[in-house]
Structure 1
Amino acid sequence: FIDALSRYLDLPLSVADYSEHSLQRGSDASAICYMDIESDGRRIFGAGINKNIVTASLEAIVSAANRLQ
């Protein structure tokens, strides 16, 4: 996903750091993902919250990419 987004935005993007954890207890809990994206020597922070950790990760990448603009 990050490679496709990098090509679409015509910017070098890479994951510099990743962290996630559950916000509640139980199988229906939401997860939060924190992601640092590196682009041209800059590190940009993004976060995503979703019940699906993969979706939370994608939201964090998009959140960070939006902060580049």
Structure 2
Amino acid sequence: MSYAQGMAKRKPHEVPPPYRRYAGTCMICGMGLQWEAGSWLTLVDRDGSPDCERHEGRHVLAYRR
């Protein structure tokens, strides 16, 4: 396979897969948080968990970027 065949150009109608985006830090545990792929409502930590380990609930966004 040549280089040109391996590096196929994406067609304009093809949408790239969703990815996580940095959101900020959790006010309670201080862990860095990301917006879940394809969502602006779900915050997850680096393990993909929306639950904070220091209290019985979800992460609380302290600083948003």
| TM-score w.r.t. length of structure 2 | 0.32
Q: Of the two, which has the highest radius of gyration?
A: 2
| TM-score w.r.t. length of structure 1 | 0.31
Q: Between Structure 1 and Structure 2, which shows a larger proportion of helix residues?
A: 1
Q: Between Structure 1 and Structure 2, which shows a larger proportion of strand residues?
A: 1
